């Protein structure tokens, strides 16, 4: 693949209800893009035959763990890779079972695009609405609605159009942004990678064409500069006097751009300085943009540590000692209101105490319900009080500086995922 053809990387997830053909679709994408190699295919053929199936069961590609094979279900998010020749793809494969909201949230957190599968015989279901709403809540910028199993409705155009109109009617009411629609048969292969022979009336792009041309929307270059400091490099190499005063602040640009000579400010101190140099691995760059891992050298000798943030001085993030957030509880131990938790936000870790549960979201209806406690898979709007401030943007504006995870400080397990909502009252 030459660099000029390299369309970067696209991360997407597939969702839908049980038995809508999600595993078959992933199998089809991998198979028709020739990402499945002969020995893997032979292993699947053997297993399919052993289970008495006539055709190859492409869903066997995606269920990897012993328990999954035993129970015939998918229990965790898996990541899969394929390439179309124009682009590399990472699929976050999240299980469709209703009790696994947390897995969908996990898969959605890094996705640029979501494919929502609908069984053409069933149309828009509760599960479809739920997944579309979760995708919107997680800020996935692009939605593709794949109307699958068209072979079971005689490839009828009116069926596709009715489902599309149903979806659009509900999406308009639920504040879900634009979506693309494609009719397909993952089983037979129509409109997935190849156009097939049964959907002549459809003249839009195939699913693969949509994936190839979708923008990798994750890089927020147009946003104000945000650089959480991960690591401070002070070589102090006795043998090399040139390095004696070297102080590089290392991290990943989470938003915006930075160039040598730019004015920046450092949080929490608020001190201002200029960028003296930008490096990767000791080699100089003139500028850097979102998602690049770099080292920044500054004009002035300012004290900066891991957990601090270097930002655009005219458009700083909010400095918050209280945060209001949409929280998805991930742990099978319910949230304990009496305890303090750790919050990891960018490279910062702070103690946090729950102040209030404003409401719990019914993910099926988006209705706001009162709640006293949170259990696994609950999504709720909560307010935390923090022991130290975090430097945050609302999640809708910045998926990096707006997101955090909650860690149980006795087990050190990750127990919740949070998305900060804009809240004027929350400022310190």
Partner 1 sequence: MNAPLPTLRDDTRLSHLDWLEAEAIHIMREVAGQCARPALLFSGGKDSVCLLRIAEKAFRPGRFPFPLLHIDTGHNYREVIEFRDRRAAELGERLIVRAVEDSIHRGSVVLKHADESRNRHQSVTLLEAIEEFGFDGCIGGARRDEEKARAKERIMSFRDEFGQWDPKNQRPELWNLYNARTHVGEHVRAFPISNWTELDVWQYIERERLALPTIYFAHEREVVLRNGLPVPVNVPLASGELTSPPRPGEQIVVRRVRFRTVGDISCTAPVESDADTVARIVIETASTALTERGATRLDDQTGDASMEQRKREGYF
Among 281, 286, 424, 425, binds partner 1 (CB under 8 A): 281
Rounded CA separation 98/130 (Å): 10
- Cβ proximity of 358 and 365 under 8 Å: no
Q: Which two tokens stand for residue 70?
A: 């035993």
293 binds partner 1 (CB under 8 A): yes
Among 24, 399, 420, 426, binds partner 1 (CB under 8 A): 399
Q: Is 183 in the site for partner 1 (CB under 8 A)?
A: no
CB closer to partner 1, 70 vs 301 = 70
Q: How far is the CB of 153 from partner 1 (least distance, A)?
A: 20
241 binds partner 1 (CB under 8 A): no
| Binding flag, residue 71, partner 1 (CB under 8 A) | no
Strand, helix or coil for residue 288:
strand
Choose between 36 and 267: whose C-beta lies nearer to partner 1.
36
> How many whole angstroms separate alpha carbon 143 and alpha carbon 108?
12
- Smallest gap from Cβ 64 to partner 1, in A, equals 3
Tokens coding 248? 């590089």
Is residue 391 a contact residue for partner 1 (CB under 8 A)?
no
Q: Is 174 in the site for partner 1 (CB under 8 A)?
A: no
Q: How far is CA 421 from CA 219, 313, 393, in A?
A: 20, 22, 8
Kindly give, in sequence order, each residue whose CB lies less than 8 Å from that of residue 9, ignoring residues fewer than 6 positions away.
Answer: 87, 88, 89, 90, 216
> Does position 424 bind partner 1 by CB under 8 A?
no
72 binds partner 1 (CB under 8 A): no
> Minimum distance from CB of 259 to partner 1 (Å)?
14
Residue 157 makes contact with partner 1 by CB under 8 A: no
Q: Please state at what angle helix 101-108 crosses helix 126-137, rounded to 10 degrees.
A: 40
Candidates 102, 131, 149, 198; binder of partner 1 (CB under 8 A) is 102
Report the distance separating Cα 337 and Cα 342, nearest Å.
13
Q: Alpha-carbon distance 347 to 306, whole Å?
A: 7
Give the residue, chosen from 21, 95, 96, 251, that forms a contact with partner 1 under the rule CB under 8 A: 251
The reply to whether 375 sits near partner 1 by the rule CB under 8 A is no
76 forms part of the interface with partner 1 (CB under 8 A): yes
Is residue 114 within 8 Å of 93, Cβ to Cβ?
A: no
Question: Judged by CB under 8 A, does residue 265 bind partner 1?
Answer: no
Asked whether position 31 contacts partner 1 by CB under 8 A, the answer is no
Neighbours of 223 (CB within 10 A): 19
Task: Using the structure block, give the residue that is written with the tokens 């079972």.
Answer: 97
Nearest-5° Cα angle at 305, 301 to 308: 105
Question: For residue 290, what are the CA distances in angstroms to 6, 13, 356, 424?
Answer: 18, 22, 34, 27
Q: CB of residue 380 vs partner 1: minimum separation in angstroms?
A: 16
**Pairing of β 142-148 and β 179-183:** parallel
- Residues 331 to 350: which contact partner 1 by CB under 8 A? 344-347
* Identity of the residue, 391 or 404, whose beta carbon is nearer to partner 1 in the bound complex: 404
Least distance (Å) between residue 286 CB and partner 1: 15
Q: Which residue number, 86 or 321, has a Cβ lying nearer to partner 1?
A: 86
Q: Determine the interface stretch with partner 1 among 24-32, 82-90, 146-154, 386-394 (rule: CB under 8 A).
A: 82-90
């Amino acid at each position: 693949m030459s660099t000029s053809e390299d369309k970067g990387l696209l991360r997407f997830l597939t969702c839908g209800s049980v038995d809508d053909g999600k595993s078959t679709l992933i199998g089809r994408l991998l198979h028709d893009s020739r990402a499945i190699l002969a020995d893997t295919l032979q292993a699947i053929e053997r297993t399919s035959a052993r289970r008495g199936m006539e055709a190859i069961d492409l869903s066997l590609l995606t269920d990897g763990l012993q328990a999954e094979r035993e129970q015939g279900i998918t229990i965790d998010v898996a990541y899969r890779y394929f390439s179309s020749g124009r682009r590399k793809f990472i699929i976050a494969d999240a299980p469709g079972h209703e009790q696994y909201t947390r897995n969908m949230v996990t898969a959605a957190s890094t996705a640029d695009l979501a494919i929502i599968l609908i069984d053409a015989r069933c149309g828009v279901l509760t599960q479809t609405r739920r997944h579309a709403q979760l995708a919107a809540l997680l800020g996935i910028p692009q939605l593709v609605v794949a109307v699958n199993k068209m072979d079971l409705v005689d490839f009828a155009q009116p069926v596709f159009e009715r489902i599309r109109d149903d979806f659009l009617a509900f999406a308009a009411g639920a504040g879900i942004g634009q979506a693309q629609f494609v009719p397909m048969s993952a089983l037979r292969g129509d409109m997935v990678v190849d156009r097939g022979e049964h959907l002549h009336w459809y003249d839009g792009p195939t699913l693969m064409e949509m994936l190839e041309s979708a923008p990798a929307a994750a890089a927020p270059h147009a946003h104000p500069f945000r650089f959480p400091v991960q690591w401070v490099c002070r070589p102090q190499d006795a043998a090399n006097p040139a390095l004696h005063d070297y102080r590089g602040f290392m991290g990943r640009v989470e938003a915006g751009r930075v160039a040598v000579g730019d004015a920046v400010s450092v949080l929490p101190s608020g001190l201002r300085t200029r960028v003296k140099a930008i490096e990767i691995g000791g080699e100089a760059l003139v500028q850097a943009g979102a998602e690049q891992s770099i080292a920044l050298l500054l004009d002035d000798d300012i004290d900066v540590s891991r957990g601090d943030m270097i930002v655009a001085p005219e458009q700083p993030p909010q400095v918050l000692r209280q945060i209001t957030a949409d929280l998805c509880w991930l742990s099978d131990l319910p949230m304990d209101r009496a305890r303090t938790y750790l919050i990891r936000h960018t490279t910062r870790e702070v103690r946090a105490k729950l102040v209030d549960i404003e409401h719990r979201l019914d993910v099926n209806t988006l209705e706001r319900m009162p709640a006293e406690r949170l259990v696994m898979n609950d999504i709720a709007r909560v307010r935390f009080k923090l022991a130290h401030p975090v430097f945050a943007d609302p999640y809708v504006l910045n998926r990096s500086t707006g997101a955090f995870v909650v860690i149980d400080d006795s087990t050190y397990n990750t127990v919740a995922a949070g998305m900060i909502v804009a809240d004027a009252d929350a400022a310190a």
